[in-house]
């Protein structure tokens, strides 16, 4: 009937009007610390982006939930933040920086373990220094395999030994030629 349709139409209009009134109610943001006043209809978007007291997951992978107002300060100090190593420029999580210095960095300055005073940049250069150059590395006389007992001398002393023991080394070579199967004790 016409009366029934009119009643239904009026009801829809009434509901819309009521809905609009509800959306226009002034509310306060329920987040602790905020208390911003707004129309109810704006609360959802306020919480989604604007409210500084909503917690978000830290984007640095630390799994912490941080209030938006604290997020910038947290990220600046977050243990998972990526930092550039000042020695090799690699990007490393802050909490792994010390590990990187000691085990991963190609340029971290390391003093020679023999205390010769040199500081080498990175494991590679340190090992090369110790193996080939350090004056305090203990080395064998090059004639050790011919029987020279001058083992475990500092590299810096080896040149003097080789010069001083020149005739002794020649004698060892000569003996080796005379008795090629003789075993030498170290």
Using CB under 5 A, list all residues that contact Zn ion. Answer: 29, 31, 34, 36, 51, 58, 60, 62, 64, 78, 85, 87-88, 90, 105, 112, 114, 116, 118, 134, 141, 143, 148, 150, 165
Contact 47, 31 (CB under 8 A): yes
* Of residues 105 and 110, the one with the C-beta less far from Zn ion: 105
CB of 108 to Zn ion, least distance (A): 6
* Of residues 1 and 186, the one with the C-beta less far from Zn ion: 186
The residue written with tokens 């000569």 in the block is: 174
* Of residues 2 and 76, the one with the C-beta less far from Zn ion: 76
The DSSP annotation for 84-124 comes to E-TTT--EEEGGGHHHIIIII-SS-EEE-TT-SS-EEESHH
Contact 54, 67 (CB under 8 A): yes
CB of 51 to Zn ion, least distance (A): 3
């Amino acid at each position: 009937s016409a009366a029934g349709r009119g009643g239904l139409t009026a009801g829809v209009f009434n509901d819309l009007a009521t809905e609009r009134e509800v959306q226009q109610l002034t509310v306060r943001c329920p987040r602790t610390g905020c208390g911003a006043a707004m129309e109810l209809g704006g609360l959802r978007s306020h919480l989604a982006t604007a409210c500084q007291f909503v917690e978000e997951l830290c984007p640095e992978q630390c799994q912490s939930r941080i209030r938006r107002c604290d997020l910038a300060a947290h990220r600046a100090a977050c243990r998972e933040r990526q930092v550039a190593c000042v020695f090799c420029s690699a990007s490393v999580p802050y909490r792994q920086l010390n590990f990187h210095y000691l085990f991963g960095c190609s340029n971290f300055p390391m003093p020679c373990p023999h205390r010769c005073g040199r500081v080498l940049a990175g494991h590679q250069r340190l090992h090369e220094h110790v193996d080939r150059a350090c004056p305090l590395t203990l080395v064998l006389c090059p004639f050790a395999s011919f029987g020279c007992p001058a083992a475990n001398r500092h590299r810096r002393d080896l040149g003097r030994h080789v010069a001083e023991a020149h005739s002794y080394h020649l004698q060892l070579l000569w003996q080796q030629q005379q008795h090629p199967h003789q075993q030498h004790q170290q």
